[in-house]
Chains A and B, each alone.
Chain A
Amino acid sequence: MEPITTRQAMEKEGRGAGELTGPADASVVMSARGVAKRFGDVRVLNGISMDVRSREVVVMVGPSGSGKTTFLRCLNHLERIDAGEILIHGRPVGYRPRPSVSEQPVEERPKVVAERRRNIGFVFQRFNLFPHLNALDNVALAPTKVLGTPKAEAREQARTLLARVGLEHKASSRPSALSGGQQQRVAIARALAMKPELMLFDEPTSALDPEMVGEVIAVMKELVDDGMTMIVVTHEMGFARSAADRLVMFDQGVILEEGPPEQVMTDPAHERTRAFLRRLNEGG
């Protein structure tokens, strides 16, 4: 297989993607151009271009293996990219700034990457709370260590955040003593503690028992109401319909189509989207 060049990636994206927004303006929080990635011989991302503006809520859907989670992980450099560019607030997260996108991306030093990740919140499918710390310290850890917030202050903030996700009474509980839904809410509070400008959610309700999905979705909707910029990978079409500004359909490493959720869901432009949504309805 020939290596993916940015040019090829751009061409591919031209076929599938919807309308691209113009050159980055101040309100653009995340901007991706021709992002390509492969795992060995498998091309997981085949030229993804997408802009997300401030206060926008974007839901990404698609069959498993379509690249949506990988793309989300690339946004804060949990995965490397092979070609293209991802800018958050106009600056790349894991790579050195380069004059032309066609140049090979060069990775930044870990310290710089860490600094750039600070204001991007990430919520994992499996919560990934720190098991050796109680809920309060899970939330307060990063502000104290990364931002140097005084401990008492960070604790106070953490308490407020736990209250916000309805878990003030669980402050001293270890993750092992919390239900899945509670753990995910603590994980959201933990991400919020860094005062992020962008929140990424990787299937936040997929590992939960059905009766706990609601509590997590409710917390996410509150964030939407507060004007948080969010990119969410989820199969919760109810959330997409009621909370998202845009629904993005991933398929085989490209964006198949995108648009207002209502429009994509009721009148998809592609047969593959239609089939995917049908399967989702049958399954759910």
Chain B
Amino acid sequence: MTHVTHAAVLADTGPQTGFDWSFFWHYLSSPSGLFLDGLWRTVYISVVAQLLGVLLGFAIALAQRSRFAPLRWGGRTYVWLIRGTPLLVQLVLVYNGLAAANIYRFGDLQVGGLVMLGVVQAAILTLAVNEAAYMAEIFRAALDAIDPGQAEAAQALGMTPGMTMRTVLLPQAIRIIVPPLGNEFNLMMKSTSLLSVIGLQEMFLTVQSINSATFKTFEIFLVAACYYLALTTVWSFVQRFIERKLADPGQVIATPSLRDRFTGGGLGRAGRTAAPEDAVPAGKEAH
């Protein structure tokens, strides 16, 4: 009996089942202004939060290496607290929690002709603070990975700790940091979808509202997935480019460029492993 009813229902909804290709293509190829707004917010919030997270994370990594014990404890406690709690909980605490407890309410901020919504401020702040904990660990690992002889050599030349960091350690650490940093930014772009819970109209929430108007759930969220994939794909190319730029020409393992891989043009350069150093312009990367 039940079985029959079920089948009947399926038969009834016949014309509405299946995948609506035209809807999917329409939204994928000509996204609405609303959708693009959401996409733009996703991108710029990710970028700003990541930048702030890197800076704050570096400061925390420095605190953890400080010769003053309270700073070291502070740095470790920060990482422990932030990494130990979910981003989603942090978002709600910062935006809704603080307001509900009448501690702080994020109001809109007017800078020049631009208005920065309170919810955007809360979002960027929380994402940056969250990201900083992970970046601090990445910086710590990178700095620890550098041979202690490097800092000793710099010290022996009369460099102060600050100088040593800027001219010797950081340039070497950056090369180690880029791959995990790329990972972090990839996660960051996807994490912005959590901002929907505090009512920020980024890509995910935009898609949700389109969904509630059209009920094309599968199609519209697939469109969203495609756009997230596009963002992370573009980023992975940018990351590859940065890594290539930072590589030590003496240690580059001859990896053919994308073009060479398609055209086979890179084969002749297989012997580049020990690149002729003298080809590098003198002092190009110094200071």
Contacts of A124 in B (CB 8 A): 149, 152-153, 156
A117 within 8 A of B: yes
How many pairs of residues, A versus B, come closer than 8 Å at their CB atoms?
110
Q: Which of B67, B161, B175, B286: most chain A Cβ within 10 A?
A: B286
Contacts of A15 in B (CB 8 A): none
For this complex, into which size category does the number of interface residues on chain A fall? Answer: 35 or more
- Per-position contact with B for A107-150: 1 when CB-CB < 8 Å, else 0? 00011011101111110101011111110110011101110000
Contacts of B277 in A (CB 8 A): 134, 172-174, 177
Contacts of A131 in B (CB 8 A): 172, 248
CB of B284 to closest CB in A, whole Å: 8
B158 within 8 A of A: yes
Interface residues of A in 78-133 (CB under 8 A from B): 78, 110-111, 113-115, 117-122, 124, 126, 128-133
Question: Contact: B285 with A172, CB < 8 Å?
Answer: no
**Cα A113 to Cα B277 with chains together (Å):** 36
A173-B278, A174-B277, A176-B248 given; A132·B158 CB < 8 A: no
Question: Contact: B248 with A134, CB < 8 Å?
Answer: no
A194 within 8 A of B: yes
B157 within 8 A of A: yes
Question: Contact: A132 with B149, CB < 8 Å?
Answer: no
**Cα A131 to Cα B147 with chains together (Å):** 11
A76 within 8 A of B: yes
Question: Contact: A117 with B163, CB < 8 Å?
Answer: no
Question: Contact: A172 with B152, CB < 8 Å?
Answer: no
Question: Contact: A174 with B157, CB < 8 Å?
Answer: no
**Cα A260 to Cα B67 with chains together (Å):** 43
Question: Contact: B248 with A120, CB < 8 Å?
Answer: no
Partner of B158 from the list A140, A146, A155 (CB cut-off 8 Å) is A146
**Cα A34 to Cα B185 with chains together (Å):** 55
Question: Contact: A134 with B283, CB < 8 Å?
Answer: yes
Contacts of A17 in B (CB 8 A): none
Q: List 21 A-B contacts (CB under 8 A).
A: A78-B152, A110-B67, A118-B158, A119-B158, A120-B156, A121-B156, A124-B156, A128-B149, A132-B175, A134-B280, A134-B286, A137-B286, A137-B287, A140-B283, A141-B157, A141-B167, A142-B157, A145-B167, A145-B287, A187-B153, A194-B157
Chain B interface (Cβ < 8 Å from any Cβ of A):
67, 147, 149-150, 152-161, 163, 167-168, 171-172, 175, 248-251, 274, 277-278, 280-283, 285-287
7 pairs of A and B residues whose beta carbons are closest in the complex: A118-B158, A122-B156, A128-B153, A142-B157, A176-B250, A128-B149, A137-B286
Chain A interface (Cβ < 8 Å from any Cβ of B):
76, 78, 110-111, 113-115, 117-122, 124, 126, 128-134, 136-137, 140-142, 144-146, 151, 155, 171-174, 176-177, 187, 190-191, 194
